[in-house]
Amino acid sequence: MDILASFGQGLLVVLEPQNLMYCFIGVFLGTFIGVLPGIGSMAAIAMILPLTFYLDPTPAIIMIAAVFYGAEYGGSTAAILMNVPGTPAASITAIEGHALAKKGRAGVALFSTATASFGGGVFGMIVIAFLSPSLAKLALSFGPADYFAVILLGLVAASAVSNGGALKGIAMVVTGLMLGTIGIDLTTGDLRFTMGIPELRDGVHIVIVAMGLFGVTELIASIRTNLKGKSDVEVDFDDLYPSKEEWKSLPAPILRGSAIGSFFGALPGTGQTIAAAIAYAVEKRVSPWRKRFGTGVVPGVAVPEAANNAATQTAFIPTLTLGVPGSPPMAIVIGALMIYGITPGPRLLTEQPDMFWGLVASFLVGNIMLLVLNVPLIGMWVRLLKIPYKYMYPTIIVLICMGVYSLNNNVFDIWLTLVIGAAGYIMRLFRFEPAPLLLGFVLGPIMEEQLRRTMLLSRGDPMVFLERPISATLIAITVGILIFGLYSTQRKRRQTRAAQQNSTGR
Amino acid sequence: MKLDRRTILGTSLAALTALSASFAMAEPGPWSDEPVRIVVTFPPGGTSDLVARLVAQYLDTEFGQKAVVDNRPGAAGTVAADFVSQQDPDGTTVLLANNAPFTIAPTRFKSIPYEPIDGFTHLAYIGASAPGLFVHPSSGITTLEEYVAFVETAPMTYGSSGVGSISHILGEAVDAAVGVESIHVPYQGSSPAIQDFRAGVLDSFYDMVVQNSDMIEDNEAVALAIASPERNPQLPDVPTFKEQGYDVVIENWVGLSGPAGIDPAMAAKINETVLAVFAIPEVRDRLTELGITHTAMSTEDYSTLVGELIEVWKPLIIAAGIAE
C-alpha cells in the first residue's frame, strides 16, 4: 500500500493550483501543436523547453510531460481527418482512422481515439507507479558497465526494429553517434570535430537536432504532400458515439494495446511509433474483427492509440530511474532536470519524492484534462486544421527559430537547425528514419562516457562487461536482438527477391 | 458591470497608458537609472546563477536598483566574459565573475577573445567556497595521514565534476603534493559522481565540502581535508590541507566585474552597494547555505586578486594536463 500512499501524496502535489495550471497549459499547447500536421511531440517539447527555465522544477517537469502526451493525443486528429499524421506514431492510427473518416464516421474515430488514448495513458501510469520503485532499487547497484550495457541494448533494439530495416537503422544510429562526438571530450577535455567554430565547443544542442530533424524536415515534407491543404472530411457531430457493438469491441484492444505499448515504451530506445506498429500488427492477427481491418474499424483505431499513449507514459521509467532516456523526447526531459540540478537516476525517487509522484499523478490528471479537452472541443481542433498552410507554416518556422535562438542567444544555432533540417529532408527522400539518428545522438555521449569510465575503473580490462551479472545478461540479450534483426531483414530480402523471380518467370 | 464598447475601449486605453508609462519612467537607482543586466557564465540553477539572482533581488528591494539575470553559458565561461567585455562601460552590464573565464581559461586555452585583467573593471569581490577530499567510510580511512599511507601502496580512483573543473584541478594538486598518481574518473557535475561513489564504484571524490555536509553527518562519506586557507566555521572538524602539511589552497570564488573603462566613481559606488547587499543578514545566511564565505574587498584589491589568482592557478592547470 506504500505505492498508493505515495500516489496520494503526488495527487496532492499536482492538485496545487499552480501545478494544475501548468499541467493544463501543457496538455493544451501539446494538443495544439500535435494537431498541426507535420510537427510532433519532439518539436512541441523543444519549443516549450525555454519557457520552463524560469519555473520551479516540479511544475516545469509536469508541463513538459503534459506537452509530450498532449501532442501524442493531438497527433491522431490530423491523421484521422487528413491522413497527415501529426506525430510519427499517429501514422498507424491513420490506417483505420482515415478509412473510417472517409466512410463519414470521423466523429466515431476521433471519439474512439480519445477513449483509447485515455485508457492507454492510465494503464501506462499504473505500470510506472508499480515498476519504478523496484527498478530504482535494482539500479542503485548499477555501475558504469551496467549503464553501458543498457544503452547498447536500447540502441540495438531501436535500430533492429526501425521501419526502414536493420541496416538503415544501424546506419542512422551510427550517424547520430558521430554527431554526438562533436564538442569537448569529457575524459580529456580536448576539442573534437569543432572545425574551429567556437559555437561547436559545447557540442550540438539536442533541441537543435530535434527541431531540425522533426520540425524543419517535417515541414518541408508536409508542404510537398499537402499542397491541396484542405481537410476533405466533414465531421458529423451527431455521429460521435460508436454503436453498441463497437463499444463492446473497445476494451480488449485497449488492454492489449496498452500492455504492448507499456513494454516498448519502457525499453530504452524503442518508442511510441514502434509500440503502435507492433500493437496494430498483433491486433490484426488476434482481433475478432481482423477480417475487416483496413476498411476502417473501431478496434483498429483504438489499438495503436492505446499502445502509443501507454508507451508515452512508460518512457519515463528508464528516464527517471536510470537516467537513460527511453526516447529522444525524454532526453529533453533529462536536460530540463539537469538545469535544476536534479540528476535523474535511482536516487530521484527517494530524494525528490514529491516531484516523482507529483509527475506520476499528473499523468492521471492530465489524461482527464485531455479527455475533457478533446471530446467536446473536437470541433475546434478540426477548425484549426483549416488554417491555410501559407499562414501556418511560416508561423511554425518562426516559432522554431525563436525556440532555438533562446537556447544560447546565438544566431549560429538557427543556421545549424536549418542545415540539419535540409539534411533530414534528403535522408527522408532515401527512406532513412530520423528517429534512430536522434537516439544515437542522445545516447551516444552517455554511452561513451560510461564506456570510458568503465575502462578507467577496470584499468583497461574489457572483461568487466561479462563479469558483472547485470551487464552480461543485457549484452546477451543485445546480441540476440542483433542476430534476429539482421536475420529477419535478410529473410525479407530473400522473400522479395523470390517473389520478383516468380513474377518475372511467369 | 455592463460591458459596452466604450467601457472596453476606455479600459484598454487606460491599461495601455499605464503600461507605456511604466516602461518610460526609469526609476533612479544608486548608479544607473536603467536596469542592470547581470550576465552569468552557467545555465540557471548552479551556484553562480543563485548568487546572481540573490544580488539582483536585493539590489532591487533594498536599494531600488532594478537588475535582471542573463544566462549566457558556453565554452567554459568564455562566451559570457567575451560578451560583457564588449559592452558599454556604463554600469548597466556586469558579469558574475568566477574561476572559469578568469583564472582557468587564460591558461587552459591557447587564445581567449578577451583580456582577463585589462579588458574588465573588476568591481566587487563576493566570496569563495572550498572543495575537499572525501573517501568511503568502508575504507576505514579517517585522516589524511592514513589516506597518504594507503595511496602510496595502492592508488585510488577519484571522481571529479569534469575535466578542468575545480575538483579535478584539486585532485591533481593533491596528487602532486602527496607524490602519487591516482586514477581520475571525470563526471558531468558532482551529483553523478556522488551517485557512483555511493554505489561503491569510486574509492574517493573531490567536491565542495559544505554542500556535502549531509553526507558527512550521515557518515556516508568521510571528509579528510578542505582546500580553504582556514577551517570552515560550519564544519570545524574538517582540517585544512595546509595545517596537515600540504600546501594546497584552491577556492571557488565569485565576484562582479564589468567592461573596462567604468568611471572610478561609479565603480566605487557599485562596490559600496554590493558590499551593503552582503551586509544584510538574510543574504549572508543564504551565502553560507551555498557554502560561500564572504570577504569585503575594495575594487583595487579585487582587481589585484584576480591577477594573482591567474598566476596561482597557472601551474595547477598545467600540472592537471588540461592546458591546450
**In this predicted model, what pLDDT tens digit does every residue of A472-504 receive, in sequence order?**
999 999 999 888 877 877 777 777 777 777 665
Domain count, chain A: 1
A338-341: Cβ within 8 A, 24+ apart: A338/B189, A339/A53, A339/B43, A339/B44, A339/B45, A340/A57, A340/A60, A340/B44, A340/B45, A341/B45, A341/B46, A341/B191
Best residue in A320, A343, A411, A464 for a mutation probing chain B (most B CBs within 10 Å) = A343
Cell of B202: 569510486
Cell of A130: 508499480
Whole-number Å distance between alpha carbons of A278 and A262: 12
Q: CB–CB of A339 and B43 under 8 A? A: yes
Q: What is the reported pLDDT for A505?
A: 47
* pLDDT > 70? residue B11: no
Candidate from B44, B186, B199 with C-beta closest to A142: B199
DSSP labels, A173-226: HHHHHHHHT-EE-TTT--EES-TT-GGGTT---HHHHHIIIIIIHHHHHHHHHT
Domain assignment of residue A202, given as a range: 2-226+238-505
Whole-number Å distance between alpha carbons of A387 and A391: 7
Q: Find the residue in A nearest to B42 (Cα).
A: A339
* pLDDT > 60? residue B29: yes
**Domain B36-128+252-319 bears CATH identifier 3.20.20.80:** no
The answer to whether position A43 is within a domain reads: yes
| Contact by Cβ (8 Å): A68, A370 | no
A288 burial type by CB count under 10 A (0-12 exposed, 13-18 middle, 19+ buried): exposed
Question: Whose CA is closest to B258, among B275, B241, B270, B248?
Answer: B270
pLDDT tens-digit map of B299-317: 999 999 999 999 888 988 8
| Contact by Cβ (8 Å): B293, B127 | yes
Q: What is the reported pLDDT for A157?
A: 80
Q: CB–CB of B196 and A339 under 8 A? A: no
Q: What is the reported pLDDT for A232?
A: 57
* pLDDT > 70? residue B97: yes
pLDDT tens-digit map of A422-438: 999 999 898 888 888 88
Residue spans of the domains in chain B: they are: 36-128+252-319, 131-244
Q: What is the reported pLDDT for A504?
A: 55
B149 burial type by CB count under 10 A (0-12 exposed, 13-18 middle, 19+ buried): exposed
The answer to whether position A231 is within a domain reads: no
The answer to whether position A233 is within a domain reads: no
Q: What is the reported pLDDT for B45?
A: 65
Candidate from A189, A346, A456 with C-beta closest to B185: A456
pLDDT tens-digit map of B215-226: 999 999 999 999
Residue A226's alpha-carbon distances to A73, A110, A393, in angstroms, are: 21, 21, 11
Q: What is the reported pLDDT for A238?
A: 59
Residues of B whose CB is below 8 A from A196 = none
* pLDDT > 60? residue B19: no
| Helix, strand, coil percentages for chain B (3-state, nearest 5) | 45, 20, 35
Hey, is the C-beta of A457 within 8 angstroms of any chain B C-beta? yes
Q: What is the reported pLDDT for A409?
A: 75
Q: What is the reported pLDDT for B231?
A: 92
Q: What is the reported pLDDT for A475?
A: 93
User: For the domain B131-244, what is the CATH superfamily, name and number?
Assistant: Periplasmic binding protein-like II (3.40.190.10)
Residue B127's alpha-carbon distances to A482, B103, B145, B276, B299, in angstroms, are: 55, 15, 30, 14, 14
Candidate from B185, B195, B322 with C-beta closest to A345: B195
Helix ranges (DSSP H) in chain B: 5-24, 47-63, 78-85, 99, 105-108, 144-153, 166-178, 190-198, 213-217, 264-277, 281-289, 299-319
CA atoms within 13 A on the CB side of A478: 22
Positions in chain A whose pLDDT score sits under 50? 229, 505-506
Question: Whose CA is closest to A346, among A319, A314, A315, A325?
Answer: A319
Hey, is the C-beta of A343 within 8 angstroms of any chain B C-beta? yes
Whole-number Å distance between alpha carbons of A76 and A79: 5
Hey, is the C-beta of A411 within 8 angstroms of any chain B C-beta? no
User: Average pLDDT, stretch B183-210?
Assistant: 88
Helices A106-139 and A298-314, axial angle in degrees (round to 10): 30
Q: What is the reported pLDDT for A293?
A: 83
- Calculate what percentage of chain B has a pLDDT beyond 90: 48
Residue A334's alpha-carbon distances to A21, A215, A227, A341, A503, in angstroms, are: 22, 20, 37, 11, 52
**Would B36-128+252-319 and B131-244 be classified into the same CATH topology?**
yes
The answer to whether position A409 is within a domain reads: yes
Q: What is the reported pLDDT for A33?
A: 85
Residues of A whose CB is below 8 A from B162 = 186
User: Average pLDDT, stretch B160-172?
Assistant: 89
Could you tell me which residues are beta bridge partners of residue B132?
B207, B226
pLDDT tens-digit map of A42-77: 778 877 877 777 788 889 999 999 998 888 888 888
| Contact by Cβ (8 Å): A114, A371 | yes
Q: What is the reported pLDDT for A235?
A: 60
* pLDDT > 50? residue B6: no
B298 burial type by CB count under 10 A (0-12 exposed, 13-18 middle, 19+ buried): middle
